[in-house]
Amino acid sequence: MPDFLDPAAGPLVITMTALGAFLGLIIGSFLNVVVARVPAAESIVRPGSRCPACLVPIAPRDNVPLLGWLLLRGRARCCGVRISARYPLVEAGTAVAFGGVVWWGLHRPGTAAALPALLYLAGISIALALIDLDTFRLPFVIVAPAYPVSLVLLGAASWAGHDGRSAVRMLLGGAVLWGLYRLLHLIYPAGMGYGDVRLAGVLGLYLGWVGWSALAVGTFSGFLVGGVVGVVLLASGRAKLRGAIPYGPYLLTGAWLGLLVGSQVGHWYLRSMGV
């Protein structure tokens, strides 16, 4: 990892952050396909990108992330149907997320080697949040493979950093968070789907790898964010007391809060307690 006290490291960080954002644009375009096709049990590879209205294949010049939508002014070239603004927003949002993760990872000691794992988590987080909001489901085909992929990528980061303790925390974190949500699911099955339980285990791997403070803050934040949003939705009449509320986005938001600021919050709490 570069020495950020050295002024010469600044351009390297900027360059890598920009590359991360560019990669995010490309991945964001792919995530739009995932969000549209996975819930419908369609292949994400074939056929290629096509107009959702008339099914005409989209020309490569019109399929450039973000730029294609802007040049077409939000309408399909083939039939003139309006293209949802969600497509460029997902692409731009993924670019911001990837750039932010790279910048954060390069500035946090010992985290640079985990950037592939964190970027992978960022990608599936966006896809899962959108799918859950659309369908109230967290697809097994996305969550289940995240276990071996995350274990390999985070394990490789621990090996590269000669940090066996982070690998142990990773395994314990995954087991603890999965066990907690599994217990809640057993107590009140109507309160959350089993997809949330599966996802909790994946997020526990990352939170545990970063540290115990990240695990504690990420776990608490998931409940807090979900509770606050649930109350707001009920108060505004947009949700019913016994109605279904997608919990995945709030679980993911809480986990990312734990990853990004969990260590700082943990240190602040311990200092405030005089520890």
Do 239 and 167 belong together in one domain? yes
Helical packing angle, 86-107 and 9-37, nearest 10°? 140
Residues with Cβ within 8 Å of 163's Cβ and at least 6 positions away in sequence, in order, are 110
Do 85 and 69 belong together in one domain? yes
Q: What is the pLDDT, as a whole number, of residue 242?
A: 57
* Contact criterion met (CB below 8 Å) for 126 and 93: yes
Of the three residues 47, 74, 107, the one that is the final residue of a domain is 107
User: In angstroms, rounded to a whole number, what is the distance separating the alpha carbons of residues 202 and 213?
Assistant: 17
* Contact criterion met (CB below 8 Å) for 137 and 131: yes
Do 167 and 76 belong together in one domain? no
User: Which two three-digit tokens encode residue 103?
Assistant: 């910048």
Do 135 and 233 belong together in one domain? yes
Of the three residues 51, 74, 107, the one that is the final residue of a domain is 107
Distance from the first to the final alpha carbon of the chain? 31
**What is the count of structural domains for the chain?**
2
Q: What type of residue sits at position 112?
A: A
Do 124 and 255 belong together in one domain? yes
* Contact criterion met (CB below 8 Å) for 217 and 265: yes
Do 261 and 142 belong together in one domain? yes
Do 16 and 97 belong together in one domain? yes
Q: What is the pLDDT, as a whole number, of residue 5?
A: 43
Do 189 and 262 belong together in one domain? yes
Of the three residues 107, 123, 149, the one that is the final residue of a domain is 107
CA 35 to chain centre: 13
Residues with Cβ within 8 Å of 58's Cβ and at least 6 positions away in sequence, in order, are 48, 49, 50, 51, 76, 78
Local mean pLDDT, 10-residue blocks, the chain (275 residues): 52 92 96 95 85 79 85 83 92 97 91 96 98 95 98 97 95 97 91 92 98 95 88 74 77 96 81 70
Q: What is the pLDDT, as a whole number, of residue 31?
A: 97
Do 212 and 85 belong together in one domain? no
Q: What is the pLDDT, as a whole number, of residue 1?
A: 46
Residue 50 phi, psi dihedral angles, 5° rounding:
-145, 160
Residues with Cβ within 8 Å of 271's Cβ and at least 6 positions away in sequence, in order, are none
Do 92 and 122 belong together in one domain? no
Do 121 and 22 belong together in one domain? no
Q: What is the pLDDT, as a whole number, of residue 9?
A: 66
The two counts, helices (H) then strands (E), for the chain are 9, 0
Q: Which domain holds residue 219?
A: 113-275
Do 137 and 262 belong together in one domain? yes
| Helix, strand, or coil (residue 75) | strand
Q: What is the pLDDT, as a whole number, of residue 135?
A: 94
